[in-house]
């Protein structure tokens, strides 16, 4: 079993103590604001830290929070799980059918083990990639996962870290790749102790959900490393085949090397070491080709991004709704344009935004746009969580599904959409 000395990044602290069940032990300051202890953490060891007498707090890089986000961190050993997926090769996005899945509601048990039982169904359906809503630890026992605070620790109510790995192994056994939704634009408000350790947040920007993450201010190098190492951990140690990067339009970075481009570079290096291909898929409503354009053309080089305009054009035309963002859509011509190029807004004025929006998707390949008629946001953010099957006749819903699946882009289904689920997603 592996063991390693405890360390934590706390660049502005004057004193950091390691708190174990056996007592409290002072740590020594090392390079670049890192603090280290000569005590070794074996798998199963519970620990916390105090910062200048405050705390104790869980580790910002905690690998496991079995007692929840306010409890102690626990050491794990990634090398004890026996993988046998060396021969698995994920289908390229040009041949993919994505399926957005929320572990907590995908099976009666709401666990990784329960989700494993339904993998044969997904394979028979024709799904090539499961896209899991976030599983990094968040407060409470139920939620979507977008208020996560322990970014390195899988959400305990879904199962143990090894049970998450077992799900991914089982998916690979069925020929299905697994993409994880990760949130790097903010942390949740409850249990976000990272700010006690270091300037993880900035006052220069703000997201709709709270403080923005500090990617370009003082001590930003450590914050960028925190995020990039987190992404590499999910891909390397848990064998995820890709990441969906939540709300990239709320990731603010004015530096010369944008954190998304830096992340793509590091993932390419990991791919070279492991021999596996990984896909980084951005969520963005900017209609900005630079997300997926090659770096030699000034882009970030990501594999793909979600195309919200495709959803908005279909939804507004078929439902007749014109509230919020849908006021910019509704014409049949919008549907036609979405089917041709994905972006409906490619530089013209937007009534909703009260400014021009988007840019022409020059040299954006169809395999770089993920399209959908429903997803967790567009369903769950409605007042009572109605799906399209609640709003439209079955024949119309089937026609919309055909437009998604037969479009030139990468189609994504939202769990239950394929059979017109009657349950709302709240």
Residue span(s) of the chain under CATH 3.20.20.80 come to 80-419
One digit per residue, the tens of pLDDT, for the chain of length 426 reads 467 899 999 999 999 999 999 999 999 999 999 999 999 999 999 999 999 999 999 999 999 999 999 999 999 999 999 999 999 999 999 999 999 999 999 999 999 999 999 999 999 999 999 999 999 999 999 999 999 999 999 999 999 999 999 999 999 999 999 999 999 999 999 999 999 999 999 999 999 998 999 999 999 999 999 999 999 999 999 999 999 999 999 999 999 999 999 999 999 999 999 999 999 999 999 999 999 999 999 999 999 999 999 999 999 999 999 999 999 999 999 999 999 999 999 999 999 999 999 999 989 999 999 999 999 999 999 999 999 999 999 999 999 999 999 999 999 999 999 999 999 999
CATH ID of 80-419, from 3.40.190.170, 3.90.1170.10, 3.40.50.720, 3.20.20.80: 3.20.20.80
pLDDT of res. 210: 87
Alpha-carbon distance values, 382 to 86, 107, 133, 217, 391 (Å): 42, 23, 18, 36, 12
Burial 90-100 (b: 16+ CB within 10 A, else e): beebeebbbbb
pLDDT, position 2:
63
* Chain Cα centroid distance, residue 310: 21
Cis status, amide bond into 399, omega within 30 of 0 = no
Whole-number pLDDT of residue 332: 98
Contact 116, 167 (CB under 8 A): yes
Structure tokens at 226: 């925190």
CA distances, 147 to each of 56, 59, 128, 188, 368 (Å): 22, 17, 28, 4, 27
CA gap 341, 363 in Å, rounded:
10
Q: Which residues are catalytic?
A: 246, 283
For 10, 158, 167, the CA distances from 173, given in Å and listed in that order, are 42, 21, 10
In this structure, whether the domain defined by 1-57 belongs to CATH 3.30.70.1290 is answered with no
Specify the domain boundaries for CATH 2.60.40.10 within the chain: 1-57
312: three-class secondary structure by DSSP? helix
Spatial contact of 1 and 77, defined as CB atoms under 8 Å apart = yes
DSSP run (H or E) holding 350: strand 349-350
Cβ neighbours, 10 Å, residue 288:
20
Residue whose token pair is 């189609």: 411
> What is the model's pTM?
0.97
**Which residues have CB under 8 Å from 9's CB, separation 6+?**
32, 33, 34, 35, 60, 197, 198, 222, 226
Selection from 219, 97, 116, 107 nearest residue 173 by Cα? 116
- What is the Cα 37 distance to its own chain's centre? 32
Burial class (CB in 10 A: 0-12, 13-18, 19+), 145: buried
Do residues 230 and 224 make contact, with C-beta atoms less than 8 angstroms apart? no
Amino acid 1: pLDDT: 46
The span from the CA of 101 to the CA of 105, in Å, is 8
Contact between residue 290 and residue 299 where contact means Cβ atoms under 8 Å apart: yes
Q: Count the Cβ atoms, other than its own, within 10 Å of residue 142.
A: 9
């Amino acid at each position: 079993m592996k063991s390693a000395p405890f360390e934590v990044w706390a660049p502005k602290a004057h004193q950091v103590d390691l708190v174990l069940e056996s007592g409290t032990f002072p740590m020594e300051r090392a390079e670049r604001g890192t603090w280290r202890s000569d005590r070794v953490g074996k798998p199963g060891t519970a620990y916390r830290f105090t910062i200048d007498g405050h705390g104790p707090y869980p580790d910002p890089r905690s690998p496991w929070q079995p007692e929840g986000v306010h409890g102690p961190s626990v050491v794990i050993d990634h090398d004890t799980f026996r993988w046998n997926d060396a021969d698995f090769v994920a289908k390229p996005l040009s041949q993919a059918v994505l399926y957005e899945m929320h572990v907590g509601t995908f099976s009666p048990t709401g666990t990784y083990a329960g989700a494993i039982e339904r993998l044969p169904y997904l394979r028979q359906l024709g799904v090539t990639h499961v896209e899991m809503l976030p599983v990094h630890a968040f407060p409470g026992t139920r939620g979507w996962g977008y208020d996560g605070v322990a970014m390195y620790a899988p959400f305990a109510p879904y199962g143990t870290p090894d049970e998450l790995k077992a799900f991914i192994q089982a998916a690979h056994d069925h020929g299905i790749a697994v993409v994880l939704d990760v949130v790097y634009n903010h942390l949740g408000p409850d249990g976000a102790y990272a700010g006690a350790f270091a300037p993880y947040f900035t006052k220069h920007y703000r997201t709709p959900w709270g403080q923005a993450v500090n990617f370009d201010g003082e001590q930003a190098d450590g914050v960028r490393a925190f995020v990039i190492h987190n992404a590499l951990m999910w891909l390397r140690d848990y064998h995820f085949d890709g990441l969906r990067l939540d709300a990239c339009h709320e990731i603010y970075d004015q530096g010369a090397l944008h954190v998304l481009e830096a992340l793509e570079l590091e993932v390419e290096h990991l791919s070279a070491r492991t021999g596996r291909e990984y896909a980084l898929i951005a969520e963005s409503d900017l209609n900005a080709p630079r997300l997926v354009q090659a770096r030699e053309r000034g882009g970030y080089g990501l594999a793909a991004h979600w195309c919200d305009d495709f959803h908005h054009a279909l939804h507004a035309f078929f439902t007749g709704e014109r509230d919020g963002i849908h006021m910019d859509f509704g014409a049949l011509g919008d549907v036609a344009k979405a089917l041709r190029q994905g972006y409906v807004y490619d530089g013209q004025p937007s009534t909703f935004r009260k400014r021009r929006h988007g840019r022409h998707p020059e040299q954006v390949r169809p395999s770089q746009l993920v399209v959908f008629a429903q997803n967790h946001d567009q369903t769950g953010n409605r007042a009572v969580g109605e799906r399209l099957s609640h709003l439209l006749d079955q024949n119309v819903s089937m026609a919309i599904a055909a437009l998604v699946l037969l479009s030139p882009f990468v189609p994504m289904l939202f769990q239950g959409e394929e059979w017109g689920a009657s349950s709302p997603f709240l």
